[in-house]
């Protein structure tokens, strides 16, 4: 009988997650049924949205269950198959991360071409992360060449792509905020025109200095004081894509900012939230463009890799603390 290692939710966190909220469990895998495949995972994703799933609240994805395995994006290799659609050796993208080996219904896995991208690229630049950056900027914030763009969480997986896509599509100025000096230096290397560390003082003040002519688009990964700062710097008819609010994910109390929302009236601003999965109709257009940008070295792609399924909880906790530059990946 084949054994597998899974990470379960041991308890729900209050505030910041701790290692005690997770448990590593060894299980016997069931025999494959018709239509199923056995996949040995190569890489898995840890993502900020998983923090929300650790709470027992209704959202656009169901909450994780206590004493049950977590799940999320992963890429693995088919090692046994009872599905005509897959052969042993195929690489597949699927939703049963947080374990080293998984039994899957073939219909819930998608073949990926490892000649076109590494396994982790399909969790990052070529996957949902890249789609989030692209649709948030183009379809949601309605980016136009010449716009001044500000993105928060700019050294992270989504943010670093947003800034580079904006430059590639003709932004007149791109500004990023991030949580360390090293990250700020990396943003300037990636072609951002200006970047600042939000620990260095008021975000509103630092943004106003970095954007003397104001901003036209804000891609919000952080919420709170960053959103308030962006509203203050917004030009007339500015557009804000509400992608994430990571500064609030571990909060145990409601956060007051943005306190200046009423400015949106006179400035005639647009603020629109979005879920990348609702923009699958743009996935083809996105894949083509991203493949070209990566091949032409117009866009660079950073990863922080944590080794071993046992260290997946630590990778997730580290992600929420900013220990990653680019996409946080667990190599299994
Ligand atoms: P990142 O790679 O950006 O990792 C998270 C980063 O958030 C950390 O590296 C850290 O960087 C930063 N961070 C943590 N706490 C704070 C804080 N209090 N204030 C400011 N920054 C903080 O993750 P992703 O690129 O995967 O996700 C970025 C955002 O996009 C998240 O808000 C996520 O929820 C959202 N998202 C939304 C999707 C959608 O469909 N709407 C899809 C995918 C992601 P630092 O060192 O700079 O603090």
Return the CATH number at 191. Answer: 3.40.50.720
Q: What is the pTM of this model?
A: 0.97
Regarding whether 166 and 136 lie in a shared domain, the answer is: yes
Whole-number pLDDT of residue 213: 98
What separation in Å is there between the alpha carbon of 253 and the centre of ligand 1?
19
Residue pair 72/98 in contact by the 8 Å Cβ criterion: yes
C-alpha dist (Å) from residue 329 to 71, 309, 326: 14, 11, 9
The C-alpha atoms of residue 83 and residue 2 are separated, in whole angstroms, by 19
- Pairing of β 110-111 and β 91-94: antiparallel
How many distinct structural domains can be found in the chain? 2
Whole-number pLDDT of residue 257: 84
Which residues have C-beta atoms less than 6 Å from ligand 1?
A: 47-49, 129, 132, 153, 155-159, 178-180, 183, 221-222, 243-244, 246-247, 274-276, 319-320, 322, 324, 328
Region of residue 35 (phi > 0: left; psi between -120 and 50: alpha; otherwise: beta): left
- Pairing of β 173-178 and β 194-197: parallel
Residue pair 246/222 in contact by the 8 Å Cβ criterion: yes
| Protein residue whose Cα sits closest to atom 15 of ligand 1 | 247
Regarding whether 51 and 19 lie in a shared domain, the answer is: yes
Regarding whether 309 and 271 lie in a shared domain, the answer is: no
Exposure letters 35-73 (e unless 16+ CB within 10 A, then b): ebbbbebbbbbbbbebbebbeeeeeeeeebeeeebbbbb
pLDDT of the chain, 332 residues: tens digit per residue: 789 999 999 999 999 999 999 999 999 999 999 999 999 999 999 999 999 999 999 888 899 999 999 999 999 999 999 999 999 999 999 999 999 999 999 999 999 999 999 999 999 999 999 999 999 999 999 999 999 999 999 999 999 999 999 999 999 999 999 999 999 999 999 999 999 999 999 999 999 999 999 999 999 999 999 999 999 999 999 999 999 999 999 999 888 889 999 999 999 999 999 999 999 999 999 999 999 999 999 999 999 999 999 999 999 999 999 999 999 999 99
**Burial classification of residue 79, based on how many CB atoms lie within 10 Å of its CB (0-12 exposed, 13-18 middle, 19 or more buried):** middle
Regarding whether 49 and 135 lie in a shared domain, the answer is: no
**Domain end among 277, 294, 323:** 277
Please indicate, yes or no, if residue 282 is contained in any of the structural domains. Answer: no
Regarding whether 73 and 175 lie in a shared domain, the answer is: no
Please indicate, yes or no, if residue 209 is contained in any of the structural domains. Answer: yes
Regarding whether 232 and 181 lie in a shared domain, the answer is: yes
Regarding whether 134 and 263 lie in a shared domain, the answer is: yes
Please indicate, yes or no, if residue 88 is contained in any of the structural domains. Answer: yes
Six-digit token string for 323: 């220990």
User: 3-class SS at 25?
Assistant: strand
Six-digit token string for 245: 């609010």
Whole-number pLDDT of residue 61: 87
Whole-number pLDDT of residue 21: 98
Whole-number pLDDT of residue 58: 85
Regarding whether 141 and 108 lie in a shared domain, the answer is: no
Residue pair 322/246 in contact by the 8 Å Cβ criterion: no
| Protein residue whose Cα sits closest to atom 16 of ligand 1 | 247
The C-alpha atoms of residue 186 and residue 166 are separated, in whole angstroms, by 17
The residue among 313, 308, 330, 332 whose CA lies nearest residue 23 is 313
**Which residue range(s) make up the domain with 63?**
3-120+302-331
What CATH number has the domain bearing residue 70? Answer: 3.90.180.10
Whole-number pLDDT of residue 224: 96
Residue pair 124/294 in contact by the 8 Å Cβ criterion: no
Other CB atoms closer than 10 Å to residue 304's CB: what's the count? 16
What separation in Å is there between the alpha carbon of 149 and the centre of ligand 1?
17
Residue pair 327/129 in contact by the 8 Å Cβ criterion: yes
What separation in Å is there between the alpha carbon of 243 and the centre of ligand 1?
9
Tell me the best of 61, 128, 156, 330 to mutate to test the pocket of ligand 1, counting ligand atoms within 8 Å of each CB and taking the most.
156
Regarding whether 252 and 232 lie in a shared domain, the answer is: yes
Regarding whether 319 and 262 lie in a shared domain, the answer is: no
Residue pair 89/77 in contact by the 8 Å Cβ criterion: yes
Please indicate, yes or no, if residue 297 is contained in any of the structural domains. Answer: no
- Pairing of β 91-94 and β 148-151: unpaired
What separation in Å is there between the alpha carbon of 248 and the centre of ligand 1?
11
Whole-number pLDDT of residue 60: 85
């Amino acid at each position: 009988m084949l054994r597998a290692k899974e990470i379960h939710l041991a308890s729900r966190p209050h505030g910041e997650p701790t290692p005690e909220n997770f448990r590593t469990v060894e299980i016997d895998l069931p025999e494959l049924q018709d239509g199923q495949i056995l996949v040995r995972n190569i890489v898995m994703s840890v993502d900020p949205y998983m923090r929300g799933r650790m709470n027992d609240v209704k959202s656009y994805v169901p909450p994780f269950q206590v004493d049950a395995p977590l799940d999320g994006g992963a890429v693995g290799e088919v090692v046994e198959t009872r599905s005509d659609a897959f052969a042993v050796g195929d690489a597949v993208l699927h939703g049963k991360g947080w374990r080293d080996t998984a039994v899957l219904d073939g219909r819930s896995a998608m073949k990926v071409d490892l000649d076109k991208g590494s396994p982790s690229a399909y969790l990052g630049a070529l996957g949902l992360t890249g789609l989030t950056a692209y649709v948030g900027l183009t379809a949601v914030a309605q980016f136009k060449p010449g716009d001044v763009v500000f993105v928060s969480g700019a050294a992270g997986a989504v943010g670093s792509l947003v800034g580079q896509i904006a430059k590639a599509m003709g932004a007149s100025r791109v500004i990023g905020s991030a949580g360390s000096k090293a990250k700020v230096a990396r943003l300037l290397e990636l072609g951002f025109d200006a970047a600042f560390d939000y620990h260095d003082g008021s975000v509103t003040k630092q943004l106003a200095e970095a954007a003397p002519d104001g901003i036209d688009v804000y891609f919000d990964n952080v919420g709170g004081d960053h959103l308030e700062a962006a509203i203050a710097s917004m030009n007339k008819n500015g557009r804000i894509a509400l992608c994430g609010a990571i500064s609030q994910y571990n909060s145990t109390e409601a956060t007051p900012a943005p306190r200046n929302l009423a400015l949106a009236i006179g400035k005639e601003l647009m603020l629109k939230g979005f879920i990348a999965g609702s923009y699958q109709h743009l996935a083809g257009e996105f894949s083509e463009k991203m493949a070209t940008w990566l091949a032409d070295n117009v866009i660079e792609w950073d990863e922080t890799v944590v080794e071993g399924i046992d260290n997946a909880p630590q990778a997730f906790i580290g992600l929420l603390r900013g220990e990653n530059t680019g996409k946080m990946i667990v190599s299994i």
